[in-house]
Structure 1
Amino acid sequence: MPKFKTPFVWASALSISLIASTALVADAHATTLMDLLRGGPGKSTERNAEKRPTLFGGSSSAAAPMLDGDPEPLPKVSGPRYYTYKTEAQRPIKIALPAVSAPAATDTDVTTGSVAPVSDVRAALAETKVLATDDVAKAVEAYYASGKPLIWVEGDAVTEKAKSAMSALAAAGDVGLDASDYLVSPPEATLAGADIDAQRRALARFELMLSAKVVAYVQDTVRGRIDPNKLSGYHDFKRKPVNLGPVLNMLRLSPDVAAYLRNRDPSSPQFAALKSELVKLRAAEASSGPSIVIASGTLLKPGQTSAELRNVVAALRKNGSEAMKAAHAATLSAYVDGQDYTPELVAAVEDFQKEAGLKPDGVIGPATIRALVGHSNAEKISKLVIAMEQLRWLPADLGSRYVFINQPAYRVYYVNDGREQLSMRVVVGSRANQTYFFQDKIETVEVNPYWGVPQSIIVNEMLPKLRQDPTYLDRLGYEVSYKGRTVASSQVDWNSTHSVDVRQPPGGGNALGELKILFPNSHAIYMHDTPQKSFFQRDVRALSHGCVRLAEPRVMAAAVLGTSVEDVGREIAQGRNKAIPVKGDIPVYVSYFTAWPNKDGQVEFFDDVYGRDEHTMKAFEATTKAREAQG
């Protein structure tokens, strides 16, 4: 329960609070909360605040703490963390052999459902130790318990079907998986000169191992080989269910095992583009020439000189678009080895920046250098493999109409009828306040919104200021409440209380601007407008507290509402807080891809702003290591 001032000073203090609030209304509308939290505009207001009555009578400076006793230590609301990846537990596959029916069916009797006879190899399955995850083990156990024929062994040799399956598994790298996860050694080399029992055991192990590997492959290629929720608290996915029960029987009946396995791979256009780029880069990796390097820390402005200019021009010649190179052919061909950053070269760089989605100012800094020299083939391959894994976490079909936010690209895309209809710049969470990775459904557009201040901001950023100046929120015009009861912030003893609700009313200085687009989720993340329009001019836009700020919020709101920008503007102009329901089913993917195809199917690569790719790669390594030790 928060502590409030005693009733006899309530009216006096509230009156003073209202006077201060009225006197500062212009500042409140011109200044955002973030400005004040970071010591920007409005800072002088705190220093010059009037003295106010205290609980004990008299007066004290507004900058002095309001004490009813010793203050509690400042608390801290911590965000999610990254985990050390724990692989899924494995257990022995336990084969319970069926009883032999009389008369016994032959192994070729595969259509009647009769129980096949227990051969020597089949009998050895129960003695064979192979480890697998529980889902895989259950599927393998169910198949062999049913009495159906062996799939990969016939007589004393492996079948052609087995060879086809091993060949398909060896090509797992083409679809972003690791072929070593599905490696099975054929028993032929083991059997030379061996006795009958050794042959029987080796063939049984091969049969069981290959069955486990193909079932694991099907599960991995459908849903991904790692559990994203074990990577960090920022990942939030319900893992896809994969029906593994029919897999082995389908493989037994399939005339082309490799085709069956390939058909289980994702087939979306996004996955196809990533796969094509991966195959191309792996083919080019060995034959690629030396990379162009622009020295780290280079910052070159128009009119300056630099020895790095030769590398800049080399990168323009190699990585610039054909259109850009044609437009500046004379400049690029005339350049020899000068250090003067001339207007002609500036114009070429500006066109390159424009095509790369950067601010076309001619300044060659970190973002432009990254765009010029790109990532190495090895880096790109790693990004593609991670992107293909992450795409498996999402629905196999993203839908014909959806919103896709890609945090490393700092962009949001609206897709309608399967085609990208619009895209715009966004601001996403800072490294300290990262945006999550999840999917949801858009439900509401709220115009003239209130901003409910998250507890993390109240506790981590506002509370220290409130302990120095309890009128802080009153002066800014914020509403404070406890259990539905509105109170003045000056009436709360912030030295012992911080479990209150704070919200900012609609208005010109509202942190959410004119509107927000809601897809209710446990992370309190949504898309919204912002008064800080200058942020969209930056190339690196990881700047928010986790929500996604839109460069053109009215355009996105009109798209999801199926109306016009003008209609959205009229709703805003009424000045009332209003929630407008979104009709239809519009998924939103709040995603994180450092490699992703654009609307033309060309894969683009982005910097790993939160360092998440490294955690995914470590999870891959842990998974492969666990599988190598499985049997």
Structure 2
Amino acid sequence: MVAHAPIPFARRTAHAVALAALLAAAPGLSAPALAAPDETRLAALDGRAGLDAGPLPAASAPAEERVPSPLDAMPTYPVPADAPQASPPRTGSLGPIALPPTIGAEALVGPMLIGRLGAIEGDLGLEYGADDVAGLRAFYAARAHAPAWIAPAADGLGWSEAALALAHVLAAAGDEGLDPAAYPLPPLPAGPAFDPAAAAQADIAFSAVLVRYAQDARGGRLEPTRLHELITPTLDIPGAEAILSGLADAADPAVALADHNPPHEGYRRLRTALAELRAAETAPEPMVAVPPGPVLRPGARDARVPLLRARFGMEAPQAEAEARVYDVALAGAVEDFQREHGLVVDGIVGNQTIAALASVDPARREGDLLANMERWRWLPRDLGEKAIFVNVPGYRLEVLDGGAIVHETRVVVGKPGQETPIFSDEMEYVVVSPTWTIPPSIMRNEILPGLRADPNYAAARGYEVIRNGSTITVRQPPGPRNALGHIKFMFPNGHHVYLHDTPSRGLFDTIRRAYSHGCVRVENPFALADLLLAEQGWPEARLRALVGPRERYVHLDEHVPVHLAYFTLEVEDDGRIVPHEDIYGFDRLTREALGLDP
């Protein structure tokens, strides 16, 4: 779902008899099926419901078989001579009711709510699932079909204080990176001449809008797995009844609705950055785009050098032969940019610097901020008292304790085409001196072609080939050459990925650390293990003593949440935005799904 279409709430039955049937079968009514009413009752019903009416049918049931209607308890009132007149009714309609100011107008809305709820599937369309339709019904049934958001007003009927406060939250949806046009305040007939059916319809419509906002705020706008098969967060989308009951019972409904947005500090900082970007008095001109390409070092020649000079407002050399030379002056400008944006200050233009140059372009920045804010909605609202947080594009692992970062280390993540999946799970145990069983994808793409080309392929790499009939399993026993190093951290999941050590230590010194087959390689794995296990008697020294020729398992007394996340923009304590390369193109996919400009 890219953009929200207006919700068709205006469908009405063609005749008052149809509404009587809906009332008879509506949930929450204990009366037996209604008999066809006589012309007098139909006239009163049609007037109250404000429905288009055709010719009235003759009563088809004998008088003695009729049962009392719930509408019989609704008194009829003469129209006072001095009452304000409603607009002329359409042909064939008895029009809305005009009531004296002393009559509680909202009392007539309840029976109309039952009728509107009877046709709610047609009203709401495909935007709402069966569970939410049932939830709306249950919410109103629990309150005896009393209206939730309308209340008496000086001139008859209006939105309640709670509804008006909630409407302010809806109107400010853009501040949260949502689309305010998706959450309209339904029209409510006002004044002493009013239509109870239309008022009931507006009350239900407003409830549906509140449900949509709350669910979108919790990550319901997109289906992440449809963006990419390896984006598999477990979303916590509340149902309609829970949302509406929570708002109706809240001491401050506006705060309760706004609280459906992510509570995380990272999200709040992005929201502040979005507000500051939009508050700029004048929109700056788009910057010169510098495309990706080979790494540029001082002395290199490249067609992008003139673009870099234009990007930093530097004049081109007079000699044409030097126009494409990446000289010391330009490298100095690049260093200043890297320093300002939290990058490695080396004057070398690689993928990270190119990504940073693109991300600060105001034409792209807002879309990237919105995409990153949306991905915060995919994380659990409670990350855990102690948790492991990996930002894949930032190549960084953090250990959080009470919300504070108590440990930080570099990581190597999956390369494009073998991406590290994005999801949350719980770490259960660690394995010292692990055996690596080659996963099917690596078997198919690397091991089997290697074995076909060279019979000694496996032995040369220390692999063991195990044949069981037509099945071949290849594994690497514990040892210094093992691809998992000396320790791995297990949070069993459907992607078969985990955190682990590695013998390829030199990769941690590179800037772009996307080299693995999907798992996350940790630079200081035993320091991480110490933080997780020292309190239960397994400090780093004792764990290192387990290194040997066979696997050794140590289970965590309490499971630790692990979050593999994807954020290309992070905001530092001082408000500075640090960009990261969109290594898997997930920014682009998210922007496209949200209907944002690329």
Q: Which runs of 5+ in 2 are unaligned?
A: 12-21, 30-69, 76-105, 318-322
Partner of 2:551: 577
Q: Distance in 2 between matches of 1:556 and 1:566?
A: 9
Provide, for residues 152-207 of structure 1, a one-character-per-residue CA deviation record: whole Å limited to 9, x for no partner.
3457643144443333212112122222222244245xx89xx97xx444433322
In structure 2, give the amino acid aligned to 1:150: P
SS at match of 1:607: coil
Contact 2:110–2:146 under 8 Å retained in 1: no
SS at match of 1:500: strand
Distance verdict in 2 for CA 1:247–1:343, change over 3 Å: closer
Q: Distance in 2 between matches of 1:405 and 1:586?
A: 13
Q: Which has the higher contact order (CA 8 A, sep 6+)?
A: 1
Query: Within the alignment, does 1:203 sit opposite 2:199 as a pair?
Result: yes
Q: Distance in 2 between matches of 1:578 and 1:123?
A: 64
Once the two structures are TM-superposed, the CA of residue 120 in structure 1 deviates from its matched residue by 6.9
Once the two structures are TM-superposed, the CA of residue 356 in structure 1 deviates from its matched residue by 5.2
Once the two structures are TM-superposed, the CA of residue 410 in structure 1 deviates from its matched residue by 1.7
Q: Distance in 2 between matches of 1:275 and 1:600?
A: 15
Provide, for residues 483-529 of structure 1, a one-character-per-residue CA deviation record: whole Å limited to 9, x for no partner.
5xxxxxxxx8xxxx4x3221111222221223222222121101122
Provide, for residues 279-314 of structure 1, a one-character-per-residue CA deviation record: whole Å limited to 9, x for no partner.
222223853355355576586423568897797688
Select 2:439's aligned residue among 454, 465, 485: 454
Q: Distance in 2 between matches of 1:343 and 1:617?
A: 37
Partner of 1:287: 283
SS at match of 1:503: strand
**Bigger shift: 588-597 or 153-162?**
153-162
Q: Distance in 2 between matches of 1:260 and 1:480?
A: 59
SS at match of 1:363: coil
TM-score normalised by L of structure 2: 0.70
Q: Distance in 2 between matches of 1:229 and 1:298?
A: 33
Q: Distance in 2 between matches of 1:344 and 1:314?
A: 13
Once the two structures are TM-superposed, the CA of residue 148 in structure 1 deviates from its matched residue by 3.9
Partner of 1:135: 131
Distance verdict in 2 for CA 1:97–1:474, change over 3 Å: closer
Q: Distance in 1 between matches of 2:282 and 2:245?
A: 41
Q: Distance in 2 between matches of 1:431 and 1:579?
A: 32
Task: Give matches, 1:388-467, under 5 Å.
Answer: 388-467=373-452
Once the two structures are TM-superposed, the CA of residue 432 in structure 1 deviates from its matched residue by 1.5
Q: Distance in 1 between matches of 2:218 and 2:349?
A: 43
Partner of 1:604: 578
Partner of 2:51: none
Once the two structures are TM-superposed, the CA of residue 544 in structure 1 deviates from its matched residue by 1.4
Once the two structures are TM-superposed, the CA of residue 218 in structure 1 deviates from its matched residue by 2.1
Contact 1:447–1:515 under 8 Å retained in 2: yes
Q: Which runs of 5+ in 1 are unaligned?
A: 1-83, 106-114, 318-334, 484-491, 623-631
Partner of 1:110: none
Q: Distance in 1 between matches of 2:457 and 2:72?
A: 88
Partner of 1:258: 254
Partner of 1:526: 498
SS at match of 1:388: helix
Contact 1:223–1:393 under 8 Å retained in 2: yes
SS at match of 2:559: coil
Partner of 2:353: 368
Once the two structures are TM-superposed, the CA of residue 452 in structure 1 deviates from its matched residue by 0.9
Select 1:383's aligned residue among 368, 381, 384: 368
Partner of 1:629: none
In structure 1, give the amino acid aligned to 2:582: D
Contact 1:359–1:537 under 8 Å retained in 2: no
Contact 1:424–1:552 under 8 Å retained in 2: yes
Q: Distance in 2 between matches of 1:441 and 1:144?
A: 39
Q: Distance in 2 between matches of 1:310 and 1:506?
A: 52
Partner of 1:158: 158
SS at match of 1:426: strand
Query: Within the alignment, does 1:149 sit opposite 2:146 as a pair?
Result: yes
Contact 1:316–1:372 under 8 Å retained in 2: no
Q: Distance in 2 between matches of 1:585 and 1:459?
A: 33
Task: Give matches, 1:288-327, under 5 Å.
Answer: 288-291=284-287, 293-294=289-290, 297=293, 300-303=296-299
Contact 1:380–1:605 under 8 Å retained in 2: no
**Bigger shift: 470-479 or 394-403?**
470-479
Q: Distance in 1 between matches of 2:525 and 2:592?
A: 38
Q: Distance in 2 between matches of 1:303 and 1:101?
A: 88
In structure 1, give the amino acid aligned to 2:524: E
Distance verdict in 2 for CA 1:273–1:465, change over 3 Å: same
Contact 2:432–2:488 under 8 Å retained in 1: yes
Partner of 1:176: 177
Contact 1:91–1:133 under 8 Å retained in 2: no
Contact 1:130–1:208 under 8 Å retained in 2: no
Distance verdict in 2 for CA 1:260–1:296, change over 3 Å: closer
Task: Give matches, 1:581-596, under 5 Å.
Answer: 581-596=555-570
Partner of 1:616: 590
Q: Distance in 1 between matches of 2:351 and 2:197?
A: 60
Once the two structures are TM-superposed, the CA of residue 398 in structure 1 deviates from its matched residue by 1.0
Partner of 1:515: 487
SS at match of 2:408: strand
Q: Distance in 2 between matches of 1:181 and 1:118?
A: 26
Distance verdict in 2 for CA 1:305–1:568, change over 3 Å: farther
Contact 1:91–1:134 under 8 Å retained in 2: no
Distance verdict in 2 for CA 1:458–1:247, change over 3 Å: closer
SS at match of 1:506: coil
Q: Distance in 1 between matches of 2:518 and 2:446?
A: 15
Provide, for residues 252-286 of structure 1, a one-character-per-residue CA deviation record: whole Å limited to 9, x for no partner.
45575433322333323222222222222222385
Q: Distance in 2 between matches of 1:512 and 1:406?
A: 20
Provide, for residues 420-477 of structure 1, a one-character-per-residue CA deviation record: whole Å limited to 9, x for no partner.
1232222211221111111111222322221111121112222123234444324433
Provide, for residues 395-437 of structure 1, a one-character-per-residue CA deviation record: whole Å limited to 9, x for no partner.
2121231111111112211222321123222221122111111
In structure 2, give the amino acid aligned to 1:142: A
Q: Distance in 1 between matches of 2:461 and 2:296?
A: 42
Contact 2:111–2:145 under 8 Å retained in 1: no
Contact 1:215–1:247 under 8 Å retained in 2: yes
Once the two structures are TM-superposed, the CA of residue 212 in structure 1 deviates from its matched residue by 0.8
Once the two structures are TM-superposed, the CA of residue 124 in structure 1 deviates from its matched residue by 5.2
Distance verdict in 2 for CA 1:599–1:437, change over 3 Å: farther
Distance verdict in 2 for CA 1:445–1:248, change over 3 Å: closer
Distance verdict in 2 for CA 1:520–1:255, change over 3 Å: closer
Distance verdict in 2 for CA 1:585–1:548, change over 3 Å: same
TM-score normalised by L of structure 1: 0.67
Contact 1:528–1:548 under 8 Å retained in 2: yes
Contact 1:130–1:205 under 8 Å retained in 2: no
Distance verdict in 2 for CA 1:279–1:224, change over 3 Å: farther
Q: Distance in 1 between matches of 2:520 and 2:464?
A: 24
In structure 1, give the amino acid aligned to 2:149: W
CA RMSD of aligned residues (A): 4.2
